[in-house]
């Protein structure tokens, strides 16, 4: 967490430091990120940097807080189109709305995704608290879906969590990477092509997890064999 001296800075100067850090992690990842480049691109001295942060990990954790705050604001007035959505409909809404958010904050999302996902730090001990929050939320959704008969009760809970968590990350990363060179990323994410891609990806996941009741016709076929 940044030191109080950082929060005492004028907002414009704080934003310069944050933007320089975002660009640094987006372009270089965590291991290759350079404090020297961050201070040079934000027009502060290296001594000032250490008055604001402990190290580059401290800076990156602050970016996670910035991302969380931006997401909270973005989702505040957005709600699922229907209260009666099953787990798969709700998950689809979450993914699509999340991609809308990502498209409005592409560099920040790229910086965080590069460090956590591309460099695998999301799966390590250092950020285990972040992953735990995601896993716990998915686990609660899955248990509710099983109780409601929406998901196959025989599917292993841990496996279902892993599938949904992985699918979400893969979809987000693929779309951001594909749309990186687009002039209007927001328009690209909302395009029919991208929306179909999300639907098709989630359809594959859904049909592997959904609780499918055999039809009468299927039962008759089985008895005839």
pLDDT of res. 216: 44
Q: Is 171 exposed, middle or buried (0-12, 13-18, 19+ CB in 10 A)?
A: buried
pLDDT tens digit sequence for 114-133: 999 989 999 888 899 999 99
Contacts of 68 (CB under 8 A, 6+ apart): none
Domains of the chain: 4-60 (1.10.10.60), 81-212 (1.10.357.10)
% of the chain exceeding 90 in pLDDT = 74
pTM score of the predicted model: 0.83
Determine contact, residues 13/38, Cβ cutoff 8 Å. no
Nearest by Cα to 98 from 72, 65, 129, 127: 72
pLDDT beyond 90 at 176:
no
pLDDT above 50 for 72: yes
């Amino acid at each position: 967490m940044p030191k109080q001296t950082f929060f005492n800075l004028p907002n414009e100067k704080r934003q310069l430091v944050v933007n320089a850090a975002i660009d640094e992690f987006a372009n270089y990842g965590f291991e290759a990120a350079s404090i020297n480049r961050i201070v040079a691109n934000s027009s502060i001295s290296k001594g000032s940097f250490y008055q604001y942060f402990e190290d580059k990990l401290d800076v990156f954790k602050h970016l996670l807080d910035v991302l969380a705050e931006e997401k909270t604001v973005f989702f505040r007035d957005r709600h699922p189109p229907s209260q009666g959505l099953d787990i798969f409909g709700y998950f689809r809404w979450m993914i699509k709305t999340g991609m809308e958010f990502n498209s409005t904050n592409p560099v920040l999302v790229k910086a965080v995704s590069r460090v956590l996902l591309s460099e695998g730090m999301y799966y390590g001990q250092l950020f285990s608290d972040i992953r735990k929050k995601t896993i716990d939320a998915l686990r609660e959704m899955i248990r509710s879906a099983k109780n409601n008969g929406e998901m196959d009760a025989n599917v292993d809970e841990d496996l279902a969590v892993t599938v949904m968590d992985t699918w979400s990350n893969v979809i987000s990363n693929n779309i951001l990477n594909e749309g990186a060179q687009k002039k209007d990323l927001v328009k690209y994410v909302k395009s029919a092509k991208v929306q179909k891609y999300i639907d098709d990806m989630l359809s594959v996941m859904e049909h592997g997890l959904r609780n499918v009741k055999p039809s009468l016709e299927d039962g008759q076929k089985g008895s005839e064999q």
